[in-house]
A and B are shown apart, each in its own frame.
Chain A
Amino acid sequence: MSWAEIIRTGLEAVRSHRLRSGLTMLGILIGVAAVILTVWLGEGAQDKVRGQINALGSNLLIVAPGSTTTNGVRGGFGSASTLTRADADALTSHVVAPDIRAVAPTTSRSAALTAGSSSWTASVVGTMPGWLSVRARAIGTGRFISGEDVADHAAVTVLAATTAEELFGARDPVGQSVTVSGVPMTVIGTLTAAGSSASTNEDGQAIVPITTAADRITGGASRDSVQNIYLEATSGHTLSAAYREADYELLARHRITTPTAADFSITSQQSILSTATSVDRTLTVLLAGVAGISLLVGGIGVMNIMLVSVTERIREIGLRKALGASPRVIRRQFLVEASVLGLAGGLLGTALGLAGAAILPSLISDPISISPTATVGSIVIAVAIGVVFGVYPATRAARLAPIEALRSD
């Protein structure tokens, strides 16, 4: 008997027991839908984190202040800012750090902005012209802070998209005046939106020259200190060279001889990315494991139903054998039935997964990334489950003696 014939017979058997076939498929269907949805959700979450971290800027290094050692007592991490504007200036030198393209020291605090009758609490970032490139942001209208603005301690500000919108609505803010923490400033430009993958507060910023921020907004005793220094390497390949240059220069400037005693830390965007995504990946594997178990349960369902089917169809099997079906043909017929159930369950499960992918994001506000690999993979697994769990029932069917089968009433 040809394979085409066997497949036709198998399909016919599946079709003639609609309810039972449907219930069997249901097990596989739910398993497949669960597996692909978790994998898709996991991949979506990874994409999101990757997007957020990439939105920080490309080839980015972040220098953060570390613990200080005062009178031999080591303070807590971040207890005081050990980084200064002078440190940042030193890193702009192409002699000291040839692999660093741009440097942006930042200070940041939240402050109230008012323009006319509108007000908005923004994260006010004091920085230098390099920030725009380092953080991969773009000017919408007007211009960004210039070196002269920094030198002059100019009372100027650049508003991020949401800030501009909240204060000025649809009007063009450029040239308007706004008070920042009670200090009147002129708006010289606006930033475009940071993009959907960035965290939302990126668009709620107001950028001012770092000198102006130190004088009039942040205040405090150490007006030279900065919260972070953002560095942009010249390319992805020079990232580690840029890291070493910054590390070496800052250790020297801080007069620290043992690198382990450093009062600052440098993280790369790459390392943040890999920790963040590996955490996500672990979670995805775990969830997919749980979903996989439901797929396994579906497979056992297939086996159970196929065994029932063999018992119930003893007469049919006996008849087929009497009419000339060899054990091999009978085994194949039952295997085909099981894998048809698996395949149909897999396809329907994928359809359910797609439906879920269409509905879920609006319910849980998490992104879903429909990956073809996960989809094809779980259909293949569904068929494999049909085959694997069909082998035992099929073998039993094939082994039935024709008379035993025909005798049963």
Chain B
Amino acid sequence: MTPTDSTSTEPTPNDSTPNEAGAGASATVIELTDVRKTYRSGLFKVAALRGVGLSIEEGEYVAITGPSGSGKSTLMHILGCLDVPTSGLYRLAGEDVGGMSEDQLAEVRNRRIGFVFQQFNLLPSMTAWRNVELPLCYAGGPRAQRRQRAIDALADVGLADRVEHRPAELSDGQQQRVAVARALVTNPSLILTDGPTGNLDSASTADVLGLFRRLHDVGRTIVLITHEAEVAAAADRVLQVRDGVVTADSGPAAALRTVRT
């Protein structure tokens, strides 16, 4: 699904990564202009984001890092349309998110974004494939097809043999892989993840990071939030956030270095 106008190069995600088409032709997935977020709790005001501007192209693999309390999660909520900025402009796949209604935001989250959370957030009463099917349920479509897509997504993350397992019957690493399958099942423009490895041991961390690398290789846009430097190093581009502003950016050029083998 092309999120931008049809004049840009038609991406063909199955054969080639869109970023091979060159920086000039690739579409902008995320565009933030002077985004601010101020929390008001009683008498206190907390400026969590104080003017963030950034731009992420389709097919990029970006890590956002910074110390605790620097505003990473706040940024992720705004990027994921889970929260709206106090001021500033956010364009997701070319569309201004600011003026959207609750229902439209729900649809944007459903179609454009796949979330992977630190706490997995799987529904314990449902089997793996039913968890993965969930976003498809909100999108609609025939049941048989939804089931097939969910099973395919599970196969993509290497869990073809765990389709009927419930979260409690899976290891932490496997649960996070189910969560990744759920994030990519709708073919979103963007995969957003906040501390996906925070609850995992080193083996599972490597596992999940390998998964993101593979997804990136087939052309997915990934934004990974972490305060661990080793995890951030897995991405092609690293953004530093400090006190609500972006203080360092290794630059989009990093994305261009990526060469698939």
Contacts and interface: CB of A to CB of B under 8 A. Distances in A.
Contacts of A327: 102-103, 106
A47 to B, nearest CB: 49
Most buried by A among B106, B119, B139: B106
A323 B119 contact: no
Contacts of B117: 406
Interface in B108-157: 109-111, 115, 117, 119, 121, 123, 125-126, 134-135, 137-140
A318 to B, nearest CB: 8
Contacts of B135: 323-324
B82 interface: yes
A16 B119 CA distance: 21
Contacts of A320: 134, 138
A324 B139 contact: yes
Give the contact-size bracket for chain B: 20 to 34
A409 to B, nearest CB: 7
Interface in A376-409: 401-403, 406, 409
A329 B83 contact: no
A401 B186 CA distance: 22
Contacts of B244: none
A396 to B, nearest CB: 15
B182 interface: yes
B77 interface: yes
B123 A406 contact: no
Contact of B83 (A2, A319, A324, A403): A403
Interface string A1-26: 11001000100100010000000000
A163 to B, nearest CB: 72
B96 interface: no
A168 B141 CA distance: 83
Looking at chain A's contact residues, is the secondary structure mostly helix, strand, loop, or mixed? helix
Contacts of B182: 323
Interface string A136-150: 000000000000000
Contacts of A401: 82-83
A316 B126 CA distance: 12
A223 interface: no
B123 A321 contact: no
Given A16-B125, A316-B123, A320-B134, A326 B140 contact: no
A322 interface: yes
Interface in A16-55: 16
Contacts of B126: 12
A12 B134 CA distance: 13
B87 to A, nearest CB: 18
Contacts of A325: 106, 138
Contacts of A216: none
16 contacts: A319-B123, A320-B138, A321-B106, A322-B80, A322-B82, A322-B109, A323-B134, A323-B182, A324-B106, A324-B110, A324-B138, A326-B138, A403-B77, A403-B82, A406-B117, A409-B119
